[in-house]
Structure 1
Amino acid sequence: MDAPDSSLSIEIRSKSVEQTLEPLVTQITNLISEATSPSKRSGSKTTRQKALERGGNAVYQAVERFVTVGEELGLTNPEVFDDMTNACTEAREAALSIQNGVSSQEPENEDLAQGARKLLSAVTRMLLLADRVHASQAAESVKRVNTVLAQIQNASDLSKFVHEFSELGAALVQVGRTTGERQNDAKDDVIRAHLASHRSILERSTSLLHATCRSALRHPQTSSSLTARSQVIDMMSAALSSLEKLLGGHIPTIPHVDTAHHAIVQLERALDENAPLSELLDTLCETTHDFTDSPYTNHDERERVLALTHLCCNEEDKNRLRNTTSALRSQLESIARNHVVDLTKSEIIADVTNAIAASASRADEVSTKITESCEQIVDACTLIRHVSSAQSHLVSIEHTINYIRSLAPLMSSCASTLARHQDSQMAIDSFDACVSSWKAIVEQVMALLKEIVPVVYAGHELQAAARVVDEVTAGGESSSINQESRQIVHRAKTMSAAAFSVYLFTRGEGPLRTTNELFEHATQLASDGETLANEVRNLTVVRGEIAVRIERLEGACCKLQSALCTPSCGKAATFNKVDQVVTRVKLLMQTVAQLVTACLLIATSPGNSKTDIGSLPVGLDAL
């Protein structure tokens, strides 16, 4: 038997492979646990043995179904035939070994464990090979589009172009379907972002290709119309080439860029660890240069950034330095948001259209205006990158910058063609297609900002609320209060720590890595909030301010639970749900701080024996 392909990575990158393996892993684990458990061996051997035999047979039958499908896949795909045959043979032998092992009177633990490892390894290789075949089929559809693109570029008359373009449409539909499946199946957010960006370029470029090709066929003597067609085809070819590499398992590397967000995170971490700050402060100052050097940053914003940066570099008190870096972060996010808003107010389209209508000789002016507008969008993207924490956002921003830099010269070419043929419908359609893509890219930048900044702002407010709870409970721990009251303080501190983990999630840090983990964490927070309200209420009959605070806390818990029950199918819905959950957690922690503060103020106030006992938890009135 040939050795298995050592180049096949066992790393699982597809959600479908994990989901397919999970029930088999559970079935094998339960079977072996049952067979080797000492507590089970004292029972009726006949009954137990029959159950084990049924379990072993079920595992063998399940594996046999896997193997049958795998062998058929190997026969129809010669490139994986040898590897698939080896994996199928190994899986069948391992399943038979497990079946025989659990059916014996005294199963050997080591033999069963070894058989389980071999079986899972073989089945995993089979699934990865099947995944490779699927990726290869997707790559073939990409190659087909490249072939049709070359034929379109060589089309010399309209009828041939129409025929080739209809073939391209069918091929692009296939690429969209297969790459969409790969995107949804990818476990890695970065890979999903790369696939989404390249698929988006292909989708936008289809209308551009149709318009520029018709313009080139209508005006073959105008060099700018031929250039525009070539530019669109080059954009599509580059996207297709990148897609093909991604489908082949290549993971692109993102050029490292020091961002303001990363610099502030490193500085805050150094403050917590009492590490040297000098180099980190220098890096932070350098990352703010993109904000202060931008021609689109107004004077007041620039002065505020410079002042906050100066304070950071000269502040010796760590608490004040932490507050200053937080203020700087908020200021940088505000500037990034303002730059994106300014894009929506740009009159570049009207300016270019007016220049075209005025005179064909003003082509240089048109090109200059387009270039300037391109740089404004790139500038906004650069600032968004500085305040972003997620790698997937950095990937999307990088692709957006590359796309707008490709779109700008294309738009100049189409504008030049229109300036020379202002009555040509083909030239008008070509320029209009560029305008539509230009507007779409501005909307995409706005969408990126909405994904990044709102959650960040909510996260900062949540951090502030958690810190208030910490400060309040720190005062409670230092007070001479009884055990029941300390329980309330301890509960509030636990919730504060949990809320801080939610805040770290908004920065792409901390123990919470996925949205599901965030939602589970928030569910526990809501439960803890209800428990805290009950603990305060059960200590005595409450009235007045304490009763109001308890009602507000229970309302905040209810709102958080309502947000957690919201269905989230798709990227946009999931993002909105995360935003709602973070905001509701912030509200919850604010009400916790208010309740605990009210209790401690009453408990520690001088002469509180004269206070209405109905507004105090039991124990707090005895101080």
Structure 2
Amino acid sequence: MASPPCGHGNLDSGLEIKTRSVEQTLIPLVTQITTLVNHKDRPKKSERTLVAVHRVGQAVNAAVGRFVAVGEAIAAENHELKDEMGHACFEARRAGDAIAQLTEVGPVTVFSDRAGMVKAARLLLSSVTKVLVLADRIVIKQIVTSRNKVLVTLDQLERVSTFQEFVQIFSQFGNEMVEFAHLTGDRQNDLKDEKKKAKMAAARAVLEKCTMMLLTASKTCLRHPDCESARINKDGVFQRMRCALEQVIEIVTEARGGGENKVLPASVSNAIRDYKASVECLRDHLYATAPDGVECLRDHLYATAPDGVGRRLEALVERTEDFTDSAYTGHEQRQAILGMCQLARQDARQLLHAWTQAQSVHAGEATADLEVAIAKSCQSVGELGRELHKVAVGRASDTLRVHGEHSPLRALKAAGGEGNLEAVAQHSGTLTEQKEQLVENCRLLCHVSGTEPLEITCTHAEETFHVIGPQIISAAQTLALHPSSKIAKENLEVFCEAWESQLGDMTLLVREITEVFEGKRGDKRPYLSLPRPGKHSANMKTAKAVKLDAEEQSSMAKLGLELRLLSSDVDAEAEKWEEQEQEVVRHSQSLASMAYNMHLFTRGEGLLKTTLDLFHQAEVVSEEGLQLTSSLQLFCTQLVGEEKSAVMCELDTLAAMCQQLQTEVRTPVQGKTATFQKVDSSIQKTRAVLSVVANLLPVCNKLNRKHKSERSSLGSPQDWRERRDASTPVHDSDDDDFGVKSFERHMAGLNLLESN
């Protein structure tokens, strides 16, 4: 749901919002509606206040008029939504007119009808949300239509019998896949549900990698039509692509198909959380009912009795069997896990004994013995979780280190090229063993991943290794049967590269799981508002958008990774500030989010699709950096001596770097080489800006806390500004309170549909 700001839940539209773009479009509208509804509560209503309210009301009405025009155009083009969209647009226009009338300034002010304003506001928010949700159906329809085109062409590709026909149809297929990739990529970034986003990412990764496999596997099958291993190789690719396409549609349409209903394997992390929750609820079970007379949370958790705790512990122990039953788990590790399970059972028995004692004496509150038993029981399963995490991550790291040498792949290529079927069979056995190790590692990582999105990623990695391993073997067998075939050799190379790529993805996955376990990985704040065309310099408006190829993106991968690490550092430092609403914190978090988007660009992912998008983003980074500089300069007015000199010196450096970045991205370039150099330079300068911010934030936070303890009034940049201007007369200006200028900037969000 889109939660209105300032806690005004009564303005909720009542419609479930599943995408960030719809939510972000509504936020400025909800903010201004809330302002209008609450204006009567302000004791001071000067003439300027009334004019400000009037301007907001008129601006809302005008924006709604533009918005409705777009909705009506959509309705005209999509007859199945014509009636619903038409009604929603009519209601939105009626509500906008009502708000304009209620904020009209005349001889007698009519701002007293707060009930009328609330009614109009509810109608406007509900109708605008309905228009956006209906428009969102068009996006879903586009994705489904694009998928259907891909499926038709996929069927044609599977049935081709000549190279000429294949080349012609594959060209069409490539264009359709590009369109589908863009539509689904935008949808993935827009989804609010992190589980769905992870599923979408997994399905799109399959489609991306399988496209090249489909090309070489089909060519090999056409060149060697009687080769059984080539046919098996090709059939596997087609089947996997169809499954991935179906999974995307199930996510987008929220269908209850096999992919959506697929239950994730029960993980140790979830079992530990369930067990701890049931243990904590034993304390609540000492009371007959909750304070409000509703049954205690323990009923919801099925932990109303000792056997509930026992069942959960046994479920947890059962899930550790994936670790202890594994042939790859060392004897000492197995014994340690079994010992911790036994200790957890002992602590559980002591806990239930303490709980029974507390029940028998009808204790009004948890006894000291029960509290100690609860703490010990939670501690023992926590230590078990740490040991399992250590085993899973340690084994995965060791496996990746060994398999990073790609020895079986090199051996299979050599044996296939020599036409040695016996050697291919021997090395296939080695690769199969490696595959089993990797599959099991992914399963163990899933147990300790800690979040559902990472569990989904682990399951995807497990499935990928399980599928690609046999495909590499069939490709190697084909090459061994036709050792002089260039196409068969190319096909084996492609499947080997997919394997190596998945090993790289698994390395990143292990790192992310470790970050979650150590509490270092927070949710990224999405930065959805890319600069609008025309907002920035004329040079950028006329620039040509360029897409970097895979080799160019790969060459800057290291730089992008550094940018990602810096963005994490800035996020972490910003979160340490007590006043999370401070301008310093807000600007820093925006910088971190934009830098993360640029990191994704270096991987060919995320919201930034072309170099022009990247340059737009880099310019906004420079602007945000300059605003952060301004906020910190205001902070420096409270400092003296060496403290002030040190911070001001860093701020001068930050301002200079932001100016350099701004100049860099506004400088036009011609040719792909020059564009690539500009991309590289823009990312490097952004990295330099983030580096300075990461160094500044902890210093300023420390000084802020110091001065806050000395002067309790030091709270925010607004406080600093008020003290700085304390000597000047205070004027009655409520324009800023009502955010008219800010509203005019943000109302561009209501034109989202028009810009798309």
Distance in 2 separating the partners of 1:570 and 1:517:
10
Cα drift, residue 17 of structure 1: 0.9
Matched, 1:432 2:493: yes
SS at match of 2:577: helix
Among 555, 564, 567, which residue is 2:592 paired with?
A: 567
Matched, 1:214 2:236: no
Gap runs ≥5 in structure 2: 1-12, 284-305, 351-371, 522-567, 601-686, 702-756
CA 410–16 in structure 1, closer or farther in 2 if over 3 Å, else same: same
Cα drift, residue 272 of structure 1: 4.0
Match of 2:129 in 1: 124
SS at match of 2:518: helix
Paired residues of 2:81 and 2:134 also in contact (CA < 8 A): yes
Q: How does 1:406-485 map to 2 (within 5 A)?
A: 406-457=467-518
Cα drift, residue 11 of structure 1: 0.8
Matched, 1:59 2:60: yes
Q: How does 1:217-236 map to 2 (within 5 A)?
A: 217-236=222-241
CA 173–421 in structure 1, closer or farther in 2 if over 3 Å, else same: same
Distance in 2 separating the partners of 1:518 and 1:376:
35
Match of 1:508 in 2: none
Match of 1:94 in 2: 95
Match of 1:606 in 2: none
Match of 2:733 in 1: none
Paired residues of 2:14 and 2:126 also in contact (CA < 8 A): no
Cα RMSD of the aligned pairs, angstroms, is 3.8
CA 188–571 in structure 1, closer or farther in 2 if over 3 Å, else same: farther
Distance in 1 separating the partners of 2:151 and 2:22:
30
CA 322–170 in structure 1, closer or farther in 2 if over 3 Å, else same: same
Match of 1:305 in 2: 337
Paired residues of 2:413 and 2:492 also in contact (CA < 8 A): no
Letter in 2 for 1:396: T
SS at match of 1:570: helix
Among 260, 277, 295, which residue is 2:327 paired with?
A: 295
Match of 1:548 in 2: none
Cα drift, residue 142 of structure 1: 2.3
Match of 2:74 in 1: 73
Match of 2:275 in 1: 267
Instruction: Kindly provide the CA deviation profile for residues 302-341 of structure 1, in whole angstroms up to 9, marking residues without a partner as x.
Output: 1211122222222347355444333322221121112212
Match of 2:460 in 1: 399
Q: How does 1:136-215 map to 2 (within 5 A)?
A: 136-215=141-220
Paired residues of 2:99 and 2:120 also in contact (CA < 8 A): yes
Match of 1:286 in 2: 318
Among 13, 19, 23, which residue is 1:14 paired with?
A: 19
Q: How does 1:354-365 map to 2 (within 5 A)?
A: 356=416, 357=418, 359-360=420-421
Paired residues of 2:36 and 2:117 also in contact (CA < 8 A): no
Letter in 1 for 2:503: V
Instruction: Kindly provide the CA deviation profile for residues 382-421 of structure 1, in whole angstroms up to 9, marking residues without a partner as x.
Output: 1001101111111112222223333233223212212211
Instruction: Kindly provide the CA deviation profile for residues 451-472 of structure 1, in whole angstroms up to 9, marking residues without a partner as x.
Output: 0123413579xxxxxxxxxxxx
Letter in 1 for 2:152: T
Match of 1:247 in 2: 252
Please, which moves more after superposition, 362-371 or 218-227? 362-371
SS at match of 2:263: coil
Paired residues of 1:94 and 1:115 also in contact (CA < 8 A): yes
Distance in 2 separating the partners of 1:348 and 1:427:
18
Paired residues of 2:276 and 2:378 also in contact (CA < 8 A): yes
Cα drift, residue 123 of structure 1: 0.3
Distance in 2 separating the partners of 1:445 and 1:431:
21
CA 430–358 in structure 1, closer or farther in 2 if over 3 Å, else same: closer
Paired residues of 2:64 and 2:93 also in contact (CA < 8 A): yes
Distance in 2 separating the partners of 1:259 and 1:247:
26
Distance in 1 separating the partners of 2:37 and 2:242:
52
Paired residues of 2:392 and 2:445 also in contact (CA < 8 A): yes
Instruction: Kindly provide the CA deviation profile for residues 116-170 of structure 1, in whole angstroms up to 9, marking residues without a partner as x.
Output: 1111100001111122212222332222222222222122222222222222222
Letter in 2 for 1:524: E
Paired residues of 1:343 and 1:442 also in contact (CA < 8 A): no
Cα drift, residue 566 of structure 1: 7.3
Among 325, 330, 333, which residue is 2:386 paired with?
A: 330
Cα drift, residue 25 of structure 1: 1.6
Distance in 1 separating the partners of 2:214 and 2:33:
54
Paired residues of 2:450 and 2:517 also in contact (CA < 8 A): no
Q: How does 1:458-607 map to 2 (within 5 A)?
A: 521-524=575-578, 567-568=592-593, 569-570=595-596
SS at match of 1:156: coil
Cα drift, residue 363 of structure 1: 6.5
Match of 2:113 in 1: 108
Distance in 2 separating the partners of 1:71 and 1:235:
41
TM-score (norm 2): 0.58
**Using CA pairs below 8 Å that are at least 6 residues apart, which structure has the higher relative contact order?**
2
Among 330, 343, 346, which residue is 1:314 paired with?
A: 346
Distance in 1 separating the partners of 2:193 and 2:570:
15
Paired residues of 1:363 and 1:416 also in contact (CA < 8 A): yes
Match of 1:387 in 2: 448
CA 562–300 in structure 1, closer or farther in 2 if over 3 Å, else same: farther
Letter in 1 for 2:393: R
Letter in 2 for 1:135: I
Distance in 2 separating the partners of 1:416 and 1:157:
23
Instruction: Kindly provide the CA deviation profile for residues 176-198 of structure 1, in whole angstroms up to 9, marking residues without a partner as x.
Output: 21111111111111121111111
Among 397, 405, 409, which residue is 1:349 paired with?
A: 409
Paired residues of 1:31 and 1:52 also in contact (CA < 8 A): yes
Q: Please say which structure displays the higher CA radius of gyration.
A: 1
Distance in 1 separating the partners of 2:587 and 2:24:
29
Distance in 2 separating the partners of 1:337 and 1:354:
32
Please, which moves more after superposition, 155-164 or 370-379? 370-379
Instruction: Kindly provide the CA deviation profile for residues 182-232 of structure 1, in whole angstroms up to 9, marking residues without a partner as x.
Output: 111111111211111111111111221111111111101112212211211
TM-score (norm 1): 0.70
Match of 1:237 in 2: 242
Letter in 1 for 2:17: I
Letter in 1 for 2:59: A
Letter in 2 for 1:295: A
Match of 1:32 in 2: 37
Paired residues of 2:392 and 2:441 also in contact (CA < 8 A): yes
Q: Tell me the number of residue pairs that the alignment of Structure 1 and Structure 2 aligns.
A: 488
Match of 1:540 in 2: none
Distance in 1 separating the partners of 2:268 and 2:111:
64
Letter in 1 for 2:204: R
CA 38–367 in structure 1, closer or farther in 2 if over 3 Å, else same: closer
Paired residues of 1:366 and 1:415 also in contact (CA < 8 A): no
CA 519–193 in structure 1, closer or farther in 2 if over 3 Å, else same: farther
Distance in 1 separating the partners of 2:146 and 2:110:
55
Q: Percent identity?
A: 29
Letter in 2 for 1:421: H
Paired residues of 2:479 and 2:485 also in contact (CA < 8 A): yes
Distance in 1 separating the partners of 2:242 and 2:70:
35
Distance in 1 separating the partners of 2:409 and 2:207:
23
Letter in 2 for 1:286: E
Cα drift, residue 257 of structure 1: 3.0
Paired residues of 1:142 and 1:240 also in contact (CA < 8 A): yes
Paired residues of 1:91 and 1:122 also in contact (CA < 8 A): yes
Match of 1:467 in 2: none
CA 26–565 in structure 1, closer or farther in 2 if over 3 Å, else same: closer
